[in-house]
A and B are shown apart, each in its own frame.
Chain A
Amino acid sequence: MSGAEVNGPVMLAVGYGLAVVLYGGYWIYLKQKASRLETTLRKVKGSGN
Chain B
Amino acid sequence: MTQQAAPESVAEPTAAHSSAQRTTKWLGIATAVAIVAFAYASFFYAPEDSIQGSVQRIFYVHVASAWIAALAFFVVFAGSIAFLVSRNMRWDAYAGASAEVGLLFTTVVLVTGMLWGKAIWGVFWTWEPRLTSVLVLWLLYLAYVALRAYVPDPSRKARFSAVLGIVAFLDVPIVYLSVKWWRTLHPEQVIITEQGPQLPGMMIVALTVGLVAMTLVYVYFVRLRFNVNDLEQQIKREVAK
Q: Do A and B come from one complex?
A: yes
B-binding residues in A (CB < 8 A): 3-5, 7-12, 14-16, 18-19, 22-23, 26-27, 30-31, 33-34, 37-38, 40-42, 44-46, 49
Q: How far is the CA of A22 from the CA of B217 in the complex (A)?
A: 12
Chain A CB within 8 A of B3 CB: no
Known: A4-B120, A8-B52, A44-B238. A34 touches B104 (CB 8 A): no
- On whether the beta carbons of A49 and B241 are closer than 8 Å, the reply is yes
- On whether the beta carbons of B54 and A19 are closer than 8 Å, the reply is no
A-binding residues in B (CB < 8 A): 8, 10, 42, 52-55, 57-58, 61-62, 65, 101, 104, 107-108, 111-112, 115-116, 118-122, 217, 221, 224-225, 227-228, 231-232, 234-235, 238-239, 241
Nearest residue (CB) in A for B65 is A19
Provide the main secondary structure of the chain A interface: helix
Please provide the 10 A-B residue pairs with the shortest distance between their CB atoms, ordered closest to farther. A8-B55, A37-B231, A11-B119, A7-B119, A30-B224, A15-B115, A11-B115, A44-B238, A15-B112, A15-B58
